[in-house]
Amino acid sequence: MPALQTARLDLVPATAAHLMAELESPAALAHALAIDVPRGWPPAPDLYDEDAIRHTLKWIHDYPDDADWGFYYLARRAAPGERRSLIGVGGFKGAPDEDGTVEIGYAVLEDQRRRGYATEAVLGWTQFAFAHPRVTRVIGQTLLSLTASIRVLEKAGFRPAGIGHDPGAPAGEIVLRYELVRSVRL
């Protein structure tokens, strides 16, 4: 499957080979993606860790026909003669359900935040999702403590939809649910 493109980013679908390389080392991931992997990788190590990578590997194995609805690497395109740089991760948490709902998630390296990259990626995934007729709603869940993540969803046009649920959320954290419904999408 080809990468999705936004104005400044390539949203590169993760393959099992990419994820296995990431488990090996940042250098192996850099080689697998033909990209610069900056110091400080991965983003949000408390949320995106070895368990998350292994979960994604299992998902790819269990749902090979749903690769479009999986995990992506966020690659910032480079000037001519330079290599792309890995700045984050994210994507879908599976194919649309029977009601046409699909969930997104994302994380960007700390030194790349506040540049609009997360919002740009969310808009790219949302556009991709709504290009499929069966998708009626895109949701994003975030922790109450992650105000920057809340702002990303709001800037992308998502609206609050109550308290969410994420079994991977840290104990005691409140999960907020945001949604963008096809009928209100511009």
pLDDT tens figures, 31-79: 999 999 999 899 988 778 999 999 999 999 999 999 889 999 999 998 8
Four-residue CA torsion sign, 156, 186, 131, 136: positive
Helix (H) or strand (E) holding 49: none
The reply to whether omega before 160 is within 30° of 0 (cis) is: no
Q: Is 166 left (phi over 0), alpha (psi -120 to 50) or beta?
A: beta
Beta-bridge partner residues of 107: 89
Question: In this structure, what CATH number is given to the domain that contains residue 96?
Answer: 3.40.630.30
Number of domains in the chain: 1
Instruction: Identify the burial level of 169 via C-beta atoms within 10 angstroms of its C-beta, where 0-12 means exposed, 13-18 middle and 19 or more buried.
Output: middle
The whole-number pLDDT of residue 83 equals 84
Residue 160 belongs to domain spanning: 4-184
Let me know the angle formed at the C-alpha of 59 by 142 and 5, rounded to the nearest 5 degrees. Answer: 65
pTM over 0.85? The answer is: yes
